Structure 1
Amino acid sequence: MAISPPYPSYSPGPGSGTHPHWWQRRWVRYGALITLLALSGLVILALVRRQTGTAGFLVGLGLAVLPVPWLLAAFRWLDRVEPGPWRNLVFAFAWGACAAALIAIVANSFATKWIATSTADPAGADTLGATLIAPVVEESAKAAAVLLVFLFRRRDFTGIVDGVVIAGVTATGFAFTENILYLGTAFGTDRLSGGHGIASVTAATFFVRVVMSPFAHPLFTVLTGIGFGVAALSTDRQHARRVLVPLGGLLLAMSMHALWNGSATFGQFGFLAVYAAFMVPAFGLLTWLAVWTRQRELRTVREELPAYVYAGW
């Protein structure tokens, strides 16, 4: 038997003011977002190909794609307890690979040129830009994807695991594009210098970026994702926590990124020291936190499922 509502229901009419404006319609927003990402992808593709050449671009693409399936599979595994929609992950990866990468390459280039022309040490502009400018620009650009999902897909963003997954997938896309650039440039250097085999610049770049540290960018940005995950667990009254914790996560991501980029200036073994003393322990700690949080969600599901079954749900 149908139950009537205790009040009359009316369909909103054209003059009721409930119809959204054209720019608020879902298909308009989706269209604008897809157009933005597509244009960003085309521009970043042209910029990378221009810097690496066609051959370098193809080699860089072939090598840079190798760690991507493993990283995406790891983040998808974390997300399996309460899986979010695929469109969120596709958006995150596309934002990292296209929009964030474009913002970073343009902003970093302008900042490095400005430092070179406005300081007494033009030779140190690249080092200064990589240590101070790049971490701020790149982490902010990647964090924008996490913020957008947090604001506009709030129903899908319920805790720390969701923050880790969105941040990690975004950073995986960003690292993919960046690796194409670095590996393609290294290949071009080898073609000019005649380098080949294990001693080539391409092999060294591949070993450092793909074998030793494929988790570097995801590790940095996951700190931001954890901050947003904690904010998602906060109540509406905890306004300061909802703002300060994500900001603190972003600052931590920038700091670790700056330490990683600046390790090359710490002497002959500075890179290895930072890698062993900071990167590997941080990676292990965050991996443990993500897995522990996932197991906690599983325990909650196991405890609550019998009540749902008993209620016939």
Structure 2
Amino acid sequence: MIGFLAAAILSFVPAFIYATIAYWLDRFEKEPRRLLFGAFFWGAFVATLGAIVWTGLAQASLAMFIGEASAEVAGTTLLAPLVEESLKGLAVVIIMLAFPEEFDSRLDGMLYAAITALGFAATENVLYLYFAGYAEGGIGGLITLFVLRVILGGWGHAVYTAWIGLGLAMSRLHPNRTVRIISPFAGWLLAVCLHALHNTMAVVLAGTFGLTGLG
């Protein structure tokens, strides 16, 4: 219980700090806090739960064809980025469609996406810090993953998903019709590729140096 509480505090407090920094950067036209809290909530609970379910189902289905070991690698390096970025991006799509008057700059799209991603990262970090950190290595394991995931990699999810927000904003605001059509898909693809690159590097580090819980 104490370990899980510590993991939650070490994950959510920094996430709120990072979200505050992102909110501060939007200095000229502040977005409604209710939408930002909604985006954070979506990332922390809706997207996280959805990612666990859908990635698990996809990985289990894939394991029937390529085996469990290969499916686990594919789940981390490919399936997780595809599912997670899609679910996080969905929050931004909903905000753009439901509150178009609050989605009137490229920074708006990036901010909503980053806040959603920080919520997702907070819950994901709780799970990693507790199960891969504290449960396996005690306080030392928890602190190690806290430094690696929350301090060094704390902005990772926000950076990936911000590209989706930028792409969606351009689809709404850019004067060129071709750019408006292409930009959402380009932003999503870039987010997935960056996420997949990070997770692939995490798998390599796990195999080379025994560092787990980075993906």
Normalising by the residue count of structure 1, what TM-score does the alignment of the two structures yield? 0.62
The reply on whether 1:210 has 2:156 as its aligned counterpart is no
Separation (CA, whole Å) in 1 of partners of 2:2 and 2:73: 28
Cα shift at 1:126: 1.7
Please tell me the residue identity of whatever aligns with 1:211.
Answer: I
State the match for 2:7 in structure 1: 60
CA drift of 1:72 comes to 1.1
Work out which of the residue numbers 58, 66, 74 in structure 2 matches 1:128. 74
Asked if structure 2 preserves the Cα contact closer than 8 Å seen for 1:78 and 1:161, the reply is no
Match of 2:117 in 1: 171
Give the 5 Å matches for 1:188-199: 188-190=135-137, 195-196=138-139
After superposing on structure 2, the runs of 4+ consecutive aligned residues of structure 1 that deviate more than 6 Å are none
Q: What amino acid sits opposite 1:188 in the alignment?
A: A
Q: Of the candidates 28, 49, 64, which is equivalent to residue 81 of structure 1?
A: 28
Gaps of 5+ in 1: 1-53, 272-313
Q: Paired residue for 1:159?
A: 105
Q: Which position in structure 1 is the counterpart of 2:51? A: 104
Q: 1:221 maps to what in 2?
A: 161
Letter in 2 for 1:125: A
CA–CA distance in structure 2, aligned partners of residues 202 and 115 of structure 1:
31
Higher CA-based Rg: 1
Q: Partner residue of 1:233?
A: 173
Q: Could you say what secondary structure the match of 1:82 adopts?
A: coil
The residue aligned with 1:259 is: 197
Aligned-partner residue type, residue 140 of structure 1: S
- Which among 113, 122, 147 is matched to residue 93 of structure 2? 147
Question: Which residue identity does 2:101 align to in structure 1?
Answer: R
1:95-116 Cα distance to aligned partner (Å, 9 max, x none): 1111111110111111222222
Preserved contact between residue 11 and residue 150 of structure 2 (Cα < 8 Å): yes
CA distance in 2, matches of 1:204, 1:233: 43
Q: Tell me the alpha carbon deviations over residues 139-171 of structure 1, each in whole angstroms, 9 at most, x when there is no partner.
A: 000000110111111111011110111001000
In the alignment of these two chains, the number of paired residues is: 207
Distance in 2, matches of 1:265 and 1:221, equals 21
Task: Give the Cα separation in 2 of the matches to 1:262 and 1:72.
Answer: 26
For residue 5 of structure 1, what is the aligned residue in structure 2?
none
Amino acid aligned to 1:219? V
Question: 1:239 deviation in Å?
Answer: 4.1
- 2:71 and 2:142 map into 1 onto residues whose CA distance is 24
Change in Cα spacing, 1:265 to 1:183, as seen in structure 2 (3 Å) is closer
- Secondary structure of the 2:13 match is coil
- Deviation string, structure 1 residues 32-87 (Cα, Å, up to 9, x no partner): xxxxxxxxxxxxxxxxxxxxxx4443122111123113211111112220112111
Cα distance in 2, alignment partners of residues 59 and 115 from structure 1 = 35
- Residues 12 and 123 in structure 2, CA contact (< 8 A), matched pair in contact too: no
Q: CA deviation at 1:125?
A: 2.2
Residue type of the partner of 1:231?
S
The amino acid across from 2:83 in the alignment is: V
Contact 2:7 2:129 in 1 (8 A): yes
RMSD: 1.8
Q: How does 1:22-61 map to 2 (within 5 A)?
A: 54-61=1-8
Letter of the structure 2 residue corresponding to residue 154 of structure 1: P
Q: Is the 8 A contact 2:85 2:191 kept in 1?
A: yes
Q: Which residue of 1 aligns with 2:180?
A: 242
